[in-house]
Chain A
Amino acid sequence: MKKIIAKKLFDGNRILENKIVLFDEKGIQYVGDDDKAGAEETFGAEFLTPGFIDLSSGIGLKEESLGQVEGDDFNEETNPATPELLALDGINPLDEAFPKAVKGGVLETLVLPGLSNPIGGRGALIKTVGKTVEEMLIKSPCGMRFSINNAPKMTYGKQKKMPMTRMGNAYIIRNALYKTKEYENKKKDKKFSLFEESLLPVVKGKEKAFFAAFRADDIATSIRIAEEFDLNTVITFATEADLVIELLKKHKIPVAFGPIILSRFDRELKHLSPKVPAALIESGIETAIISGHPFYPAEFLRIQLGLVIAEGIKPEKALKAVTLTPAKILGLKNTGIIKKGAEANLVLFDGEPWETKTKIQRYFLKGR
């Protein structure tokens, strides 16, 4: 048994003071005020949080410090609809960004293929520590990447292939979903098709559809398609999400917002500001904050929280956006939270986690 004496503890919902946490590899055994129980090892923490969960990242797929051939496996830009692809097959556990992400408190991450294809492929939920993807794996496949923004147009338009327009983009997604429905309902002479098999869990609502959209109209299109097929949807990036708050609320759609620290190098990013995630959190929409790695380093996901706090959001709500909220969106019950029975994924900081001054002292992943 290990013990942490935390001056401040963020449990997923609240920031508590002077708490004791007892845990081992099986999980968290105790959270409270009683310091009587003995432990093999005791650690002190200024600020204890659950391990951060980065809800949309390309870490391991687009490797740090490498060129396109050697280390870029983010976008399969040869076909606009590639639901068959698995992020798991492209992740390099030796990407130098992984140990850095850990240094920033990010212990779990959903890796999704890039944005070039309207249907990009299936994600992998992994831990950020391990030598093989098998060691890192929590769940694969996990989530389907859809992309409704300028990227597919820019990729295929110049190849004179569909999609050249937003209409084409929506068509490709809609057509694939209709075909999958037809495949699902076909009883006789059914031939195995990896394309439809890959989309089947999405159409059945069992696997989440992660729509990458920046502009408000693209967010609305994503929701329109999601409603037509009754998909279980998350909007990622979501630059203009605050302009369609009512729509998001009406359909109860969560948002994975970020990166916040990014140059507005495209017209689609015009609206980008820390004010947007602040407005989303304030409105009660389930909002996760993401690094969007490699657009912004996962290592400094925590610094983005400071910008949201500076907009008037309470620290506990900002912290929730990288812990309990992404866990809820992913349907994970025992992570992103510090409570009895949860996985002991813990990060010990020497100060406020969102501050430039703060360093991570130690982390535990599954109690180790």
Chain B
Amino acid sequence: MILIENGTIYTVTKGVIKNGSVLIGNDGKIKEVSDKKIKANCEKIDAKGKLIFPGFIDAHTHLGLFALEGGMEDADGNEMTNPATPAMRAIDAINPQDPAFKDAVSAGVLLVFTGPGSGNVIGGQSVLTRTYGKTVEDMIVINPVGVKCAFGENPKRVYLSQHRLPSTRMGTAKVFRETLAKAKEYAKAKKGKKKPPFNLDMEALVPVFQHKLPLRIHSHRADDILTAVRIAKEEFGLDVVIEHGTDAAVIRDVLAKKKVPVISGPLLDVSPKVETRSSSFETPALLAKAGVLTALMTDHPVMPIQYLPLEAGLVAYQGGAGEEEALKMITINPAKILGIDKEYGSIEKGKVANLSVWNKHPFSSVARCETVVAEGKIIFKR
């Protein structure tokens, strides 16, 4: 057991508790959260003058797939040999030795969504992983957790250079629609008497039709977002999460009505292409205010993973989301999008004891994370 006492606890779901205590059980779960002293005979962390946050969750990264401090040999994010590769599994490419995992822990980022890049229209299966551990088997929380898809410039650019379809947005939609239509038939045939011949790519999409997995669709332009929603949600009735959503604020009412969540970002970079032109720290605030379930991403390595809280700070203060809402975007909101909000995303009794202790609010540029607890164990101390 560990007792963290005398700190300001940002529970996320139950407000801010001053001079609060958190008791962590041997099972790695939070045993008690209180605004009063908790008596316990165990290891204690005095958090006087410190701030306590739930483990941060980065809802969209490529952590481990483009290992830092490496070269081309270490880039395994995009299998750009076929525009539809649903059977690619991120788990086969994640390098737990990627030093970026340590960076993540040093900033209290304990869970990440990581997966293939956006070179293909259908890129493959992403995972939810811990940021600590020696093997992927130790690290994975949910595999797969979503199927990565991409609209707009990226697949066009990749296949135009290979003189193959898709070289237009129409081509991208064709690949997407055709693959889903085949998968729908395959899933249906699997339920019938005459089983279809085994197809690994189609197998990967069956859980999508069973609503066990969402399509995680990279799209920036408003029309691309709407094309993705039209095909995936309207034509095929599938679950959709929009990734990046640079222009999502323009159609925020539509997204709110259709209950499509958006993972916004990366925002602390120089807009690299035409479709990211309207990139703004205000977008997440506008989405949240319109009722869209919104999370933030670093898109690591596009932005370094350890600066997720700093990005959230700029969303809070420069973008107008406010501290409380921006904090949700890196804790409970991604937990909801990932379907893990019963166990993660806030400091509450019964939830997994993922916590970090800071000397200042992590949204400040001078803040330092001092202690990190993951599943009830101290895994980082400055």
Residues in A lying within 8 Å of B, measured CB to CB = 64-67, 96-97, 261-267, 269-270, 293-297, 300, 303-307, 309-310, 354-359
Taking CB atoms, residues of chain B closer than 8 Å to A359 are 317-318
Beyond A307-B366, A357-B313: 5 further Cβ-contacts under 8 Å? A263-B304, A267-B69, A300-B268, A356-B313, A359-B318
Closest to B66 in A: A265
Is the beta-carbon distance between B69 and A306 smaller than 8 angstroms? no
Is the beta-carbon distance between B318 and A356 smaller than 8 angstroms? yes
Is the beta-carbon distance between B270 and A305 smaller than 8 angstroms? no
Is the beta-carbon distance between A67 and B313 smaller than 8 angstroms? no
Taking CB atoms, residues of chain B closer than 8 Å to A96 are 271, 277
Is the beta-carbon distance between B367 and A310 smaller than 8 angstroms? yes
Of the A-B pairs whose beta carbons lie under 8 Å apart in the complex, a sample of 29, sorted by A's number, is: A64-B270, A64-B271, A65-B273, A65-B274, A96-B277, A261-B268, A261-B303, A261-B307, A262-B304, A263-B300, A263-B302, A265-B66, A266-B71, A269-B68, A270-B69, A297-B268, A300-B314, A303-B314, A304-B365, A306-B364, A306-B365, A309-B366, A310-B368, A354-B365, A354-B366, A355-B366, A356-B317, A356-B364, A358-B317
B137 at the interface (CB under 8 A from A): no
Closest to A58 in B: B270
Which of B68, B274, B317, B365 is A265 in contact with, Cβ under 8 Å?
A: B68
Chain B residues 307-335 with CB under 8 Å of chain A are: 307, 310, 313-314, 316-318
Chain B residues 357-382 with CB under 8 Å of chain A are: 363-368
Is the beta-carbon distance between B70 and A267 smaller than 8 angstroms? yes
Q: How far is the CA of A192 from the CA of B66 in the complex (A)?
A: 49
Q: How far is the CA of A263 from the CA of B365 in the complex (A)?
A: 17
Chain B residues 277-316 with CB under 8 Å of chain A are: 277, 300-304, 307, 310, 313-314, 316
Which of B68, B300, B365 is A310 in contact with, Cβ under 8 Å?
A: B365
Is the beta-carbon distance between B274 and A296 smaller than 8 angstroms? no
Is the beta-carbon distance between B276 and A65 smaller than 8 angstroms? yes
Determine which residue in A309, A354, A356 has the highest number of CB atoms from chain B within 10 A of its CB, and name it: A356
Q: Interface size on B (CB < 8 Å)?
A: 34
Closest CB in chain A relative to B283 CB, distance in Å: 15
Closest CB in chain A relative to B308 CB, distance in Å: 12
B49 at the interface (CB under 8 A from A): no
Question: How many Cβ-Cβ contacts under 8 Å join chain A to chain B?
Answer: 94
Q: How far is the CA of A356 from the CA of B316 in the complex (A)?
A: 9
Determine which residue in B271, B302, B363, B368 has the highest number of CB atoms from chain A within 10 A of its CB, and name it: B271
Q: How far is the CA of A357 from the CA of B365 in the complex (A)?
A: 9
Which of A66, A262, A295 is B274 in contact with, Cβ under 8 Å?
A: A66
Closest to B72 in A: A154
Closest to A304 in B: B365
Q: How far is the CA of A154 from the CA of B69 in the complex (A)?
A: 16
Q: How far is the CA of A32 from the CA of B277 in the complex (A)?
A: 44
Closest CB in chain B relative to A269 CB, distance in Å: 7
Closest to A66 in B: B274
B241 at the interface (CB under 8 A from A): no
Q: How far is the CA of A358 from the CA of B301 in the complex (A)?
A: 26
Taking CB atoms, residues of chain B closer than 8 Å to A294 are 270, 272
Is the beta-carbon distance between B69 and A67 smaller than 8 angstroms? no
Closest to B315 in A: A356
Interface of B (DSSP majority class): loop
Is the beta-carbon distance between B304 and A357 smaller than 8 angstroms? no
Interface of A (DSSP majority class): loop
Taking CB atoms, residues of chain B closer than 8 Å to A355 are 364-366
Closest to B99 in A: A264
Which of B100, B270, B276 is A263 in contact with, Cβ under 8 Å?
A: B100
Taking CB atoms, residues of chain A closer than 8 Å to B317 are 356-359
Taking CB atoms, residues of chain A closer than 8 Å to B68 are 263-265, 269
Taking CB atoms, residues of chain B closer than 8 Å to A97 are 270
Query: Can you list the 3 inter-chain pairs with the closest CB atoms, starting with the nearest?
Result: A306-B365, A356-B313, A263-B301
Is the beta-carbon distance between A303 and B69 smaller than 8 angstroms? no
B92 at the interface (CB under 8 A from A): no
Taking CB atoms, residues of chain B closer than 8 Å to A356 are 310, 313-314, 316-318, 363-365
Closest CB in chain B relative to A244 CB, distance in Å: 20
Q: How far is the CA of A307 from the CA of B318 in the complex (A)?
A: 18
Taking CB atoms, residues of chain B closer than 8 Å to A266 are 69, 71
Is the beta-carbon distance between B366 and A357 smaller than 8 angstroms? no
B43 at the interface (CB under 8 A from A): no
Closest to A351 in B: B317
Q: How far is the CA of A267 from the CA of B276 in the complex (A)?
A: 28
Closest to B157 in A: A67
Taking CB atoms, residues of chain B closer than 8 Å to A310 are 365-368
Chain B residues 53-110 with CB under 8 Å of chain A are: 66, 68-71, 99-100
Is the beta-carbon distance between A267 and B71 smaller than 8 angstroms? yes
Chain B residues 221-279 with CB under 8 Å of chain A are: 268-274, 276-277
Closest CB in chain B relative to A240 CB, distance in Å: 13
A263 with B303: in contact, given A270-B69, A310-B367 (CB under 8 Å)? Answer: yes
Is the beta-carbon distance between B270 and A296 smaller than 8 angstroms? yes
Taking CB atoms, residues of chain A closer than 8 Å to B302 are 263
Taking CB atoms, residues of chain B closer than 8 Å to A297 are 268-270
Closest to A300 in B: B268
Is the beta-carbon distance between A265 and B301 smaller than 8 angstroms? yes
Taking CB atoms, residues of chain B closer than 8 Å to A306 are 364-366
Determine which residue in A264, A266, A294 has the highest number of CB atoms from chain B within 10 A of its CB, and name it: A264
Taking CB atoms, residues of chain A closer than 8 Å to B316 are 356
Taking CB atoms, residues of chain A closer than 8 Å to B313 are 356-357
Taking CB atoms, residues of chain B closer than 8 Å to A358 are 317
Q: How far is the CA of A209 from the CA of B307 in the complex (A)?
A: 33
Closest CB in chain B relative to A273 CB, distance in Å: 10
Q: How far is the CA of A297 from the CA of B279 in the complex (A)?
A: 13
Closest CB in chain B relative to A215 CB, distance in Å: 12
Q: How far is the CA of A297 from the CA of B271 in the complex (A)?
A: 9
Taking CB atoms, residues of chain A closer than 8 Å to B304 are 261-264
Taking CB atoms, residues of chain A closer than 8 Å to B276 are 65
Closest CB in chain B relative to A346 CB, distance in Å: 21
Q: How far is the CA of A293 from the CA of B272 in the complex (A)?
A: 11
Is the beta-carbon distance between A264 and B69 smaller than 8 angstroms? yes
Q: How far is the CA of A267 from the CA of B73 in the complex (A)?
A: 12
Taking CB atoms, residues of chain B closer than 8 Å to A305 are 365
Closest CB in chain B relative to A357 CB, distance in Å: 4
Taking CB atoms, residues of chain A closer than 8 Å to B367 are 310
Q: How far is the CA of A359 from the CA of B320 in the complex (A)?
A: 12
Is the beta-carbon distance between B364 and A357 smaller than 8 angstroms? yes
Q: How far is the CA of A285 from the CA of B159 in the complex (A)?
A: 49
